[in-house]
A and B are shown apart, each in its own frame.
Chain A
């Protein structure tokens, strides 16, 4: 007795007078009884029950899997009493089913990722800065005006006393008595620490808090900076308002003093820029400040405090516009290349996948071209980044720049690794051709099969075809739609009509079908799109191309 076999059989619903031991059908009650008595004489009733248990078990296995029938339960329980425990269990399970179903947990959708709250303080910052910058600009302008007067005017002979008088005339000096100590370093003045006056602001300072501004640099600054146009001689700088009004005679200063001032500043900035450029071209980047006293004649420089100096420096640096160093240009170029190849590689991968699928959307040659283009760019990136990194060795003192160069290289290598990792190998031209052929074969077969089923469907629905009205409306809807589906089964007739003759017809007649032209055009566009890595355009074009091919197969056109 094979219990397993019995259990298996029980899965198939069988009816009639079946022997429970050997599962044979005897057709009549008497024949079955005889058979049992003859062939299975030794079995007693308990064993019979045992066999039933196994059968019932099989049944219950099934029941657990989803049968909701409860009817069979009772009769079975009567037959096999020792199944009761199991039955109870099953009923319990079934009863549980009957109860409101437990909510099947559905995974929560992932949270939306938000960077959290942000608050910009930029406007507040800029507003404060603008006010402040204007203040500084006003002050710097005043300094430059004074500078201009100091170096262009004054006594012709180099008498230091007269000179001093002249200077004090232009810039009122602070009284010595009012400055017991240096305002910058707070050191007390005395015999060893002498008082000095800044020629630009008139404040008292110690020697170490002031420096000398050479006339040459100052002159080259102011002569071309001549920011105030022809009016500079008339400058009267006792107060800022005076300068302002005197320099903007033509303008309506009273109504809009701020605007006019801004205007003047712009003018001045421009002039300053020129001046700075001149300085740079003449002295090749030399400092505008000459600090050494003993190297120059007394009249060739003037003492300026560090504060005024800082403002002048600032103005200079603002207008400083050097060309970026070579490595920055290399870097920018490299970054462009990386962007380009980052777009191209996914395109290439797409082409490869399409080729591997045996689609005829792209040609093998196109894949080859893309591949070599990617590799070429990657090689260039490699070379550029290497060059940037090598430059680091030339700058032993610039630790930051070294680090920068090395990290650029590191990151470029990482990008390359990622990109090369993405690039799948291209199948050979032969392989491609094979795959295309295979796919075409398969698709034609598929299509024929669909057609056949559709035909069957239409045959099984003769009453539909019999109605000409229905048929016509059906065809109309199918014209707009894509491939035939089971829903509009009656379109099959149309398809058949087209399909059958076309397969017989000669190929040459079909090649001038407008679809070919369309396809060629699409291919051309697709080629352009993929060469420039425009993925979204590729999406649309690919879809269109596939639709056309579909249509061609549908029409039975050889492609």
Chain B
């Protein structure tokens, strides 16, 4: 279940089917990041695709008759309309139409009728309806999916459904479909997926029945997206915001691709300290190389050096990129006192001594270094953790700087009504059962390896439950699968990179032969704290009245 490699193969096949000659790749706003996450532009150009165009902006009527046009778009009504227009007045000699999902009969008919010039050579449904960020991470880049009642908006539900279906078909899985019992959103989406599998059983003919699909909703665990992160990728997303594997650092766009950057591939889930070490070795290696550079005396040596050049350049490229990234991250950590903030966050979610926590929160609220977003986090986490018990949320809010007070208060209410105790979310902070208490006790005895990464997401418990087959709270909507080797988890409301890191480590262990299921994590978007809080920004007005 390697999404990136599979997507690469798919795109490669698609381009190859168009044959040789120079080609143009026509994409839409959603398929562009799909392609860009799987391929570097130069790689695609090596396949004789020289122009990348968007179907939305058909600005010029310039036609280049010698180009073959490979169309890779989602089968939306708008795209079909655009294609109909394109085919009526074709700009290119041949068209190869590839859709990322199923196309209905009517649309095929419309397209066929508009192709009076007989330029279309191929019409295919491929299944790649989303963005393969990593081999086990899939996103739809779909934000603001909830309406004021926390129901998933219709178009978003539809988009999520097609995303899940394409994911299943890409991986060739016919899964046991399960959903989170207390989430009507999940039930609706999972039900539609199950219906689709029943209806289109021809498509699932070669699919394996060794997978469980779990559709869950974010409200089960809203603590995870509120925490500061310390593993490399998660940290970058939290502080600099990764979009389609790209972020902006020091006014430069940085691409973080597993495929073309070995250092990154190895350090995606390394923590901040380890990365510092690894960067250091990387630099010393580089300097060693530079040292050789100085010793180039004879022409023979120079020649040899030039022969090594591509590698040399590659290494120096990665070094400078990661040096500047880590530099930026560490300056942010220092500037905003993030170590202290994070330590407190972790204490709130794992240890949970009320008095200790509240005192620290008070002192951090007074600290001028503390960022606004961190104040948000701390208060949200406090409210979530100590909900119900004698809580001093009100007095805490008094200490918040006045410009933030009303906003924090509103957001807090919205969040609590979304993922607070009233919704019966998962037991995030350890329950009161004997087993839980024993577990915590043992954990306390062992000591904590790293105070900044004590927290583990609820997903971990979920995967464990799934392995043990204890899914009472996740009813089945289809036939049970034959084996349970794979788990696909779709989080309605967005996934986090902390969860992605957990899944990645799990899969790495499996690859080394330690067993366990392979897990693919998918979500409608990749959250960080900012985007998570933003997700509910629309709700403020209405929900505050309701609460």
Contact = CB atoms under 8 A, between A and B. Distances in A.
Interface of A: 105-108, 110-111, 113-122, 124-129, 132-133, 136, 314, 317-318, 322, 324-325, 328, 331-332, 335, 398-401, 403-404, 407-408, 410-411, 414-415, 417-418, 421, 424-425
B124 A118 contact: yes
Given A115-B9, A133-B118, A335 B62 contact: no
Given A105-B514, A108-B513, A118-B125, A411 B116 contact: no
Contact of B60 (A106, A110, A400): A400
Interface string B189-209: 000000000000001001100
B62 A399 contact: yes
A418 B310 CA distance: 8
A335 B66 CA distance: 15
A424 B50 CA distance: 30
Contacts of B511: 107-108
Contacts of B307: 421, 424-425
Interface stretch (B105-113, B321-329, B386-394): B105-113
Top 3 nearest A-B pairs (CB, nearest first) are A105-B513, A116-B170, A128-B112
B60 A399 contact: yes
Nearest to B5: A113
Given A125-B112, A318-B118, A425 B126 contact: no
Contacts, number: 151
Contacts of A407: 45, 50-51
Most buried by B among A106, A129, A335: A129
Given A107-B511, A421-B307, 8 more contacts: A108-B513, A114-B6, A116-B6, A116-B171, A118-B124, A125-B115, A404-B22, A417-B310
Contacts of B109: 128
B477 interface: no
Interface string B449-470: 0000000000000000000000
Contacts of B118: 129, 133, 318
B398 interface: no
A116 B128 contact: yes
A415 B46 contact: yes
Given A128-B113, A335-B48, A398 B128 contact: no
Interface residues on B, range: 35 or more
B120 A117 contact: no
B426 interface: no
Interface of B: 1-2, 5-6, 8-10, 12-13, 20-22, 42, 45-46, 48, 50-51, 60, 62, 64-67, 102-103, 105, 108-109, 111-113, 115-118, 120-128, 169-172, 203, 206-207, 303-304, 307, 309-310, 510-514
B interface, by DSSP: helix, strand, loop or mixed? mixed
Given A114-B6, A117-B172, A125 B203 contact: no
Contacts of A421: 307, 309-310
Nearest to A415: B46
A404 B51 contact: yes
A20 B454 CA distance: 54
A40 to B, nearest CB: 48
Nearest to A109: B511
Main secondary structure of the interface of A (DSSP, over half): helix
A309 to B, nearest CB: 13
Contacts of A114: 6, 9, 172
Contact of B116 (A108, A116, A314, A399): A314
Contact of A425 (B117, B127, B303, B309): B303
Contacts of A314: 116-117
A280 B118 CA distance: 23
30 contacts: A108-B512, A113-B2, A115-B12, A115-B13, A116-B171, A117-B206, A119-B102, A119-B124, A119-B125, A121-B108, A121-B123, A125-B111, A129-B112, A132-B113, A132-B116, A314-B116, A324-B65, A324-B66, A335-B20, A399-B62, A400-B62, A404-B67, A407-B45, A407-B50, A411-B42, A411-B50, A417-B310, A424-B307, A425-B303, A425-B307
Given A120-B123, A404-B64, A411 B51 contact: no
B92 to A, nearest CB: 10
B62 A398 contact: yes
A405 to B, nearest CB: 9
B256 to A, nearest CB: 22
A124 B107 CA distance: 11
Contacts of A410: 42, 45
Contacts of A119: 102, 124-125, 203
Nearest to B111: A125
Contacts of B127: 116-118
A118 B207 CA distance: 12
Nearest to B171: A116
Given A115-B9, A125-B123, A129-B118, A105 B62 contact: no
Contacts of B66: 324-325, 328
A424 B310 CA distance: 13
Contact of A414 (B46, B128, B207): B46
